[in-house]
Structure 1
Amino acid sequence: MSAPGPFMELLLRRGAEIRSQIEQGLKMPFTEVLELHTGDLQAMRQKPITFLRQVSAACTYSPLLNDPTLPSDVKQRARTILASCPGNSIGCYGEAGGILTVRNSVAKYLEQRDGGIPADPENIFLFNGTSRGLSFILKFLMATGNSERMGILVPVPSSLACQHIITLLGGAALPYQLDEQSGWTVWSEELRRVLEEGCGSCRPRVLYVVNPGSPTGHVMDRACMERIIRFAADEGLLLLADEGHPEDVYSGSLQLLSFKRVLHEMGPEFSSVVEFMSFNSVSKGHIGESGVQGCYMEVLNVDPTVLSHFRSMVATFVSCSLPAQIAMEVAANPPDPGDPSYPLFQAALGQPPDVFYCLRLLQDTGYLLAPGEEFGQKDGTAHFRMTFALPIKELTLALEKIVDFHQRFIAEFS
């Protein structure tokens, strides 16, 4: 998670003040402050996945492999993981790009996700979180490019983490605006405008996309993804995709497609040409292990010589922690129907208007949301970000209270 901006810091400070006042006995119309802006599921009181914790525990403390209270599939998974670790211990250094057992599971998951499109474990790399993986990729690209400053096209609104990383590494962040009126889509004309303006100060090399969007929550349709792929192909840009899990999209008709699948279905003209890297993280969605900091990356269509150099660099500088790899193994390879663990696994002022709105909401309800100003929203618009990580009963109550607040807020200020 990126460091909060000034508006979010204001809200967090005020939230801490209110929390302290409640602890000191001051009467409020609510009993606690809930930070509904964060996607940290366990901070929102969601229970961790039992199967994941049991496998992690058995890998960490091997005597549990003989514990009769642990399900047999938990112990078998732990033994499989440990057999891939040097010395059969997660305390040893692992393979720099990730142990093969986990990379095989990720490859199998990607093939299932994409309807059978092959995934090569040798093109999969494991990192301690998306931010570290992204930092390594950009640092590598800047080190192997020419002396001109590298430009990266980044969406807004979005988390500012990517822009901060680019700035710290000496690159140029080139923000392209998502079009809210058409469902936060990306238009080629906007990408072209940003690209042409950026050419005066840097060498644009990467097109960064986020799907599903954050904080917008939108999911790109196929037409939008095809536009992005064509633009990357036409301009010779590396397409860098931060993507989510299809099972974390809650809509009866909406389908979360991967860029890899769309790229493949557009035919060899694109699927064999566009340089592509895709990230996914165990911090997101139904697994929700934000503190574990594990992510995987798949690489496609990168020049073999460059990819070989990349592997050498990974081997020299990167070693993903084995606890993080265990979480990725479970995320990519959950229990199957019929396994002992399957049933339990399934059960799981002068301020911008939106800052003012979020402050009033915090003071009236104890719910802390993130204002759109935190994410680079378009001028003249106002939004807030709320995640849906609360248990369903508490989420229903929170939504009812927010609706009530909103109606009172509009009545007061309209």
Structure 2
Amino acid sequence: MTSPRKLLTLESLSAAVTDIRVPLLGSLSVRAAEVQRELQEGAVKPFEELAACHLGDPHATGQRPCTFLRQVAALCSYPALLDSDVFPEDAKNKAKAIMRTLDGGSVGSYNPGYTSQTLPRKIARFIERRDGAPCDPRNVIVSGGATEAIVSVLALVVNEEEPLKTGIMVSAPRCPLYPDVIAMCGAVVVEYELDEERGWSLNADNIRRSLSAARRRCQPKVLCVINPGDPTGRVESREGIEEVIRLAAEVNLLLFADEVYQEDVFGAGAAFHSFKKVLCEMGPPYSEQIQLVSVNSISKGVFGECGLRGGYVEFVNIDPSVFEKLYVLKSFNLPNVLGSLALEVLVDPPQPGDPSYGTFIQERQTVLSNLAEKARLTEEILNRAPGIRCNPAQGAIYSFPRIEIPDKAMKLAEARGMEPDTFFCHQLLEDTGIVLAAGSSFGQAEGTHHIRVTLLPPVEKLTNILKKIVEFHGSFMRKYS
């Protein structure tokens, strides 16, 4: 009897799966883990510990959780705490109100009614307060975080029966999640460059050029915009958003607005404008014709609850029968209830006069003030160094400075099968223990090289990291020039 052919092998996988790249850091992640292990085993290094400055995980870098949110989550998880005098009355009242809407009063139930009906109504009221425009709760779907929402929505626009593959336009730079999601959906990535010379702003001419070139190989359907920007820290102006809306109407693209950092706006003069708000204020024909999908999440913003997983999607001018299919698809993966009730705190926080209001506002302002100070320090320290140029960050939790890399280093990187900025980050890791993300993971204009620096470490630690980056870059330039 001959052995049966194995059905699940690397060769049996679809191109949509095999084309997915390694995670954000790739080889850097592997080496950082090795270095950490070597340090634990007593190896002698030029540094005593790794300094992580690459990931957008606020709580992992020391940010304190929102007190009110955690109180409500604790009370809902263990209702016996309602008898405790430790918790303020508004947290208890919030928890009781949530539990009345849960099946059996328990976060341990599936609770489809809470996530598909009760919570969308509260999210809709939040959107109306934010935008000053109506929001139908039936157009809101709760998800288990922004990533799940992005995967679900982009999958809806792909029709494999069409002669040309679906094209999905994403910025360069952008969150590295998008190319992999697009590949998994069987679609084609269409990059458009942000304007680094104008602070990483949207540039309609760049979008048009990319769109024109892409139509030779695919059918572009979706224009994705991340605002505030990951990894750029850009908060887009109202004028820039209007220009993109007009362009989408002109060339018939669905707009996908990734707005997960909307709470993280701290730059002087910067203000968050949702695409929904601008679209409605522009009025007909745009407000009636443009199809818009927007996402928000508790993982980012001032809460930074990356572990609880909760988000929502709003659909504007979308045929209800389309996102009814999404409801069916999502019925296989119900949202996490703890993440969902944390999302409720995001959209319905303590109000003036409530016992928890003062603490809530103070904690929120502390997060934003710290981000503003760290963004200022990052720009100031990095721009002192010859060969580094750093645009100001106005929002989100990152900065994306450009670094100069000598020809000799670029040739060495090529010989090792690395991008030049990845090679730089590897050398930085070995010499200083600092872990950064290379700009090539995010997309960048040809001939430019960047690094993503997270603004999350405490001020003193981040200051030391930035100074070491400057010092190392100087020695790197001398070594390879």
TM-score (normalised: structure 1)? 0.90
Q: Name 2:272's counterpart in structure 1.
A: 256
Aligned CA distance change for structure 1 residues 97 and 232 (closer, same or farther; 3 Å):
farther
Query: What is the DSSP-based 3-state SS (H/G/I as helix, E as strand, rest coil) of the residue aligned with 2:69?
Result: helix
Report the Cα offset of residue 374 of structure 1: 1.0
- Output the CA distance in 1 between the equivalents of 2:23 and 2:85: 52
The question of 1:334 aligning with 2:349 is answered yes
Alignment of 1:157-306 (within 5 A): 157-306=173-322
Q: Name 2:13's counterpart in structure 1.
A: none
Q: Which amino acid aligns with 1:34?
A: A
Report the Cα offset of residue 322 of structure 1: 0.8
- Per mean C-alpha deviation after superposition, the further-off stretch among 311-320 and 366-375 is 311-320
Query: What is the DSSP-based 3-state SS (H/G/I as helix, E as strand, rest coil) of the residue aligned with 1:261?
Result: helix
Q: Name 1:365's counterpart in structure 2.
A: 432
Query: What is the DSSP-based 3-state SS (H/G/I as helix, E as strand, rest coil) of the residue aligned with 1:268?
Result: coil
Aligned CA distance change for structure 1 residues 161 and 315 (closer, same or farther; 3 Å):
closer
Q: Name 1:376's counterpart in structure 2.
A: 443
Query: What is the DSSP-based 3-state SS (H/G/I as helix, E as strand, rest coil) of the residue aligned with 2:157?
Result: helix
- Per mean C-alpha deviation after superposition, the further-off stretch among 133-142 and 120-129 is 133-142
Report the Cα offset of residue 287 of structure 1: 0.7
Report the Cα offset of residue 288 of structure 1: 0.8
- Per mean C-alpha deviation after superposition, the further-off stretch among 29-38 and 290-299 is 29-38
Per-residue CA deviation, residues 110-138 of structure 1 (Å, 9 max, x unaligned), is 22322x22222221111112221122112
- Output the CA distance in 2 between the equivalents of 1:125 and 1:7: 28
Q: Name 1:46's counterpart in structure 2.
A: 63
- Output the CA distance in 1 between the equivalents of 2:24 and 2:288: 44
- Output the CA distance in 1 between the equivalents of 2:296 and 2:430: 36
- Output the CA distance in 1 between the equivalents of 2:95 and 2:195: 46
Aligned CA distance change for structure 1 residues 311 and 29 (closer, same or farther; 3 Å):
closer
On the 8 A contact 1:85/1:99 being kept in 2, the answer is: no
Aligned CA distance change for structure 1 residues 326 and 15 (closer, same or farther; 3 Å):
same
Report the Cα offset of residue 201 of structure 1: 3.0
Report the Cα offset of residue 284 of structure 1: 0.8
Q: Name 2:34's counterpart in structure 1.
A: 17
Q: Unpaired segments of 5 or more residues in structure 1?
A: none
Per-residue CA deviation, residues 42-65 of structure 1 (Å, 9 max, x unaligned), is 221222222222211111112112
Aligned CA distance change for structure 1 residues 147 and 82 (closer, same or farther; 3 Å):
farther
- Output the CA distance in 2 between the equivalents of 1:369 and 1:403: 13
Q: Equivalent of 2:332, from 317, 330, 339?
A: 317
Report the Cα offset of residue 332 of structure 1: 1.8
- Output the CA distance in 1 between the equivalents of 2:160 and 2:128: 31
Aligned CA distance change for structure 1 residues 55 and 409 (closer, same or farther; 3 Å):
same
On the 8 A contact 1:97/1:315 being kept in 2, the answer is: no
Q: Relative contact order, CA 8 A, sep 6+: which one is greater?
A: 1
On the 8 A contact 1:166/1:173 being kept in 2, the answer is: yes
Count of residue pairs brought into register by the alignment: 410
Per-residue CA deviation, residues 31-88 of structure 1 (Å, 9 max, x unaligned), is 2212211001122122222222221111111211222212211111111111111221
Q: Which amino acid aligns with 2:335?
A: C
- Per mean C-alpha deviation after superposition, the further-off stretch among 35-44 and 318-327 is 318-327
Query: What is the DSSP-based 3-state SS (H/G/I as helix, E as strand, rest coil) of the residue aligned with 1:8?
Result: coil
- Output the CA distance in 1 between the equivalents of 2:48 and 2:272: 38
- Output the CA distance in 2 between the equivalents of 1:96 and 1:171: 33
Q: Which amino acid aligns with 2:337?
A: L
Q: Name 2:15's counterpart in structure 1.
A: none
- Output the CA distance in 2 between the equivalents of 1:9 and 1:161: 13
Query: What is the DSSP-based 3-state SS (H/G/I as helix, E as strand, rest coil) of the residue aligned with 1:195?
Result: helix
Query: What is the DSSP-based 3-state SS (H/G/I as helix, E as strand, rest coil) of the residue aligned with 1:317?
Result: coil
Query: What is the DSSP-based 3-state SS (H/G/I as helix, E as strand, rest coil) of the residue aligned with 1:389?
Result: coil
Query: What is the DSSP-based 3-state SS (H/G/I as helix, E as strand, rest coil) of the residue aligned with 2:455?
Result: coil
Detail structure 1 runs of 4+ shifted over 6 Å in the superposition.
none
Report the Cα offset of residue 326 of structure 1: 1.3
On the 8 A contact 1:110/1:119 being kept in 2, the answer is: yes
On the 8 A contact 1:124/1:299 being kept in 2, the answer is: yes
Query: What is the DSSP-based 3-state SS (H/G/I as helix, E as strand, rest coil) of the residue aligned with 2:168?
Result: strand
Report the Cα offset of residue 99 of structure 1: 4.7
Query: What is the DSSP-based 3-state SS (H/G/I as helix, E as strand, rest coil) of the residue aligned with 2:158?
Result: helix
Per-residue CA deviation, residues 318-344 of structure 1 (Å, 9 max, x unaligned), is 421111101211222222343333343
- Output the CA distance in 1 between the equivalents of 2:276 and 2:70: 31
- Output the CA distance in 2 between the equivalents of 1:234 and 1:373: 31
- Output the CA distance in 2 between the equivalents of 1:117 and 1:146: 36
Task: Compute the RMSD of aligned alpha carbons.
Answer: 2.5
- Output the CA distance in 2 between the equivalents of 1:373 and 1:70: 47
On the 8 A contact 1:97/1:320 being kept in 2, the answer is: no
Aligned CA distance change for structure 1 residues 97 and 51 (closer, same or farther; 3 Å):
closer
On the 8 A contact 1:276/1:302 being kept in 2, the answer is: yes
Query: What is the DSSP-based 3-state SS (H/G/I as helix, E as strand, rest coil) of the residue aligned with 2:110?
Result: coil
Q: Name 2:157's counterpart in structure 1.
A: 141
Q: Name 2:5's counterpart in structure 1.
A: none
- Output the CA distance in 2 between the equivalents of 1:284 and 1:107: 20
Aligned CA distance change for structure 1 residues 217 and 59 (closer, same or farther; 3 Å):
same
Per-residue CA deviation, residues 296-320 of structure 1 (Å, 9 max, x unaligned), is 111111124434x336525643421
Q: Equivalent of 2:52, from 32, 35, 47?
A: 35
Q: Equivalent of 1:57, from 74, 97, 100?
A: 74
Q: Equivalent of 1:68, from 63, 85, 96?
A: 85
Report the Cα offset of residue 219 of structure 1: 1.9
- Output the CA distance in 2 between the equivalents of 1:128 and 1:197: 35
Q: Which amino acid aligns with 1:171?
A: A
On the 8 A contact 2:256/2:294 being kept in 1, the answer is: yes
Alignment of 1:55-134 (within 5 A): 55-95=72-112, 98-114=115-131, 116-134=132-150
- Output the CA distance in 1 between the equivalents of 2:123 and 2:333: 19
Report the Cα offset of residue 264 of structure 1: 1.7
